[in-house]
Amino acid sequence: MTSAEEAFYRSDKEVEELARRFEGCEMSPDEFKHRSHLTVALGYLLRLPYEQALARMRRSILGFIAHHAIPPEVYHETLTVFWVRRVRSFVERTASDRPLFELANELARECGDARVVDEYFSQELIASEGARAGWVEPDLKPLDF
């Protein structure tokens, strides 16, 4: 299996369990990496309209942060919105009749590099308090998804 074909998830049950463990705060912060964020957002966007999925993602992340006694300023609204919008774009152009785990694997391959944010936002902007507290438009190039 090539890296492009790598399977991160092997069943829908595995993906659903990841979301359940995240929402239940049963996983450690070290376990909940970028790919996990994408996978949870995918599940939300497949079941909910965008605004509801975004609100649930925000609530879930904030609950996870609070449960693990992580400083609340770790939460970053612009990054959350950016990635939920990016996942929404993936969902809109992908056949939703495929198994969830296949979609999650494809999404992880397509959006697994969190550094893509650097194409859109300068380090100064993305590190700003304004970007942490609320959505800010990118300053390097407009969103193309």
- Confirm whether 127 is domain-assigned: no
Are 42 and 107 contacting, i.e. CB atoms less than 8 angstroms apart? Answer: yes
- Comparing CA positions, the residue from 38, 13, 48 lying closest to residue 110 is 38
- Confirm whether 141 is domain-assigned: no
- Indicate the pLDDT class of residue 117, thresholds 50, 70 and 90: very high
At residue 7, the pLDDT reads 86
Overall average pLDDT of the 50-63 stretch: 98
Q: How many domains does the chain have?
A: 1
At residue 143, the pLDDT reads 97
Q: How far apart are CA 63 and CA 57, in angstroms?
A: 10
Q: Does the pLDDT value for residue 93 go beyond 50? A: yes
- Confirm whether 145 is domain-assigned: no
Q: Does the pLDDT value for residue 2 go beyond 80? A: no
- Confirm whether 87 is domain-assigned: yes
Residues spanned by the domain of 23: 3-115
Q: Does the pLDDT value for residue 1 go beyond 90? A: no
